[in-house]
Amino acid sequence: MNKKSVSSGVVVLILVLGITAGYVLGFLTSGRPIVLQAGDYRLLDELKAVLQERYYTDLPSDKELLYGSAKGLTAALGDPWTEYLTPEEISLLQSDLEGTYTGIGVVISKTGDQIVIQTVFPNTPAAKAGLKAGDIITAVDGKTVEQVSVDVVSSMVRGKAGTSVVVEVLRDGQTLSFTLKREEVSIPAVTESKMVTPTVGYIRLMQFYDNRASSEFRSALVQLKGEGMTSLIIDLRDNPGGMLEEARRIVGYFAPGQVVVYEKDKQETKPLKAPGGSKLFSGNVVIWVNGGSASASEIVAGALRDLIGAQLLGEKTFGKGEIQTIEPLSEGAVKVTIAEYLTPNKTALNKVGLSPDVQVTATDDAKLLEATLKTLK
Instruction: Check residue 9 and give its pLDDT.
Output: 32
Regarding whether 339 and 199 lie in a shared domain, the answer is yes
Instruction: Check residue 2 and give its pLDDT.
Output: 46
Regarding whether 369 and 220 lie in a shared domain, the answer is yes
Regarding whether 343 and 244 lie in a shared domain, the answer is yes
Q: 131, 164, 186: which is the final residue of a domain?
A: 186
Residues 240/103/193/310 CA torsion (nearest 10 deg): 0
Regarding whether 296 and 233 lie in a shared domain, the answer is yes
Q: 152, 167, 186: which is the final residue of a domain?
A: 186
pTM for the model = 0.72
Instruction: Check residue 336 and give its pLDDT.
Output: 77
Structural domain tally of the chain? 3
Regarding whether 177 and 41 lie in a shared domain, the answer is no
Regarding whether 294 and 224 lie in a shared domain, the answer is yes
Regarding whether 324 and 202 lie in a shared domain, the answer is yes
Q: Which residues are catalytic?
A: 295, 306, 320
Regarding whether 319 and 366 lie in a shared domain, the answer is yes
Task: Let me know if residue 9 belongs to a domain.
Answer: yes
Instruction: Check residue 338 and give its pLDDT.
Output: 81
Instruction: Check residue 42 and give its pLDDT.
Output: 85
The whole domain housing 59 covers 5-86
C-alpha span between 84 and 332 (Å, rounded): 8
Task: Let me know if residue 95 belongs to a domain.
Answer: no
C-alpha span between 57 and 67 (Å, rounded): 19
Residue 269 one-letter amino acid? T
C-alpha span between 96 and 360 (Å, rounded): 30
First to last CA, the chain: 49
Kindly report the CATH number assigned to the domain that includes residue 353: 3.90.226.10
Regarding whether 51 and 20 lie in a shared domain, the answer is yes
C-alpha span between 335 and 166 (Å, rounded): 29
Phi/psi at 256 (5° precision): -60, 135
Tell me the pLDDT of the chain (377 aa) as tens digits. Answer: 444 554 443 222 121 111 112 222 222 333 444 455 556 678 888 998 999 999 999 999 999 998 998 888 888 877 767 788 999 888 877 777 777 788 999 888 887 889 999 778 888 999 999 999 999 999 999 999 988 888 789 889 988 999 999 999 999 999 999 999 999 988 889 989 999 999 999 999 989 988 899 999 999 999 999 999 999 999 999 898 989 999 999 999 999 999 999 999 989 999 999 999 999 999 999 999 999 899 999 999 999 999 999 999 999 999 998 877 788 899 999 887 788 999 999 999 999 999 999 999 888 899 999 999 999 98
Task: Let me know if residue 197 belongs to a domain.
Answer: yes
- DSSP secondary structure of 23-75: -EEEEEETTEEEEPPGGGGHHHHHHHHHHHHH-SSPPPPHHHHHHHHHHHHHH
Q: What is the DSSP letter of 338?
A: E
Task: Let me know if residue 42 belongs to a domain.
Answer: yes
Contact 9, 83 (CB under 8 A): no
Instruction: Check residue 213 and give its pLDDT.
Output: 96
Kindly report the CATH number assigned to the domain that includes residue 177: 2.30.42.10
Regarding whether 211 and 116 lie in a shared domain, the answer is no
Q: 36, 64, 86: which is the final residue of a domain?
A: 86
Task: Let me know if residue 94 belongs to a domain.
Answer: no
Regarding whether 259 and 231 lie in a shared domain, the answer is yes
Task: Let me know if residue 130 belongs to a domain.
Answer: yes
Regarding whether 62 and 109 lie in a shared domain, the answer is no
Find the largest Cα–Cα distance for the chain. Answer: 75
Q: Is 215 helix (H, G, I), strand (E, B) or coil?
A: helix
Task: Let me know if residue 91 belongs to a domain.
Answer: no
In terms of Cβ atoms closer than 10 Å to its own Cβ (0-12, 13-18, 19+), residue 292 is buried
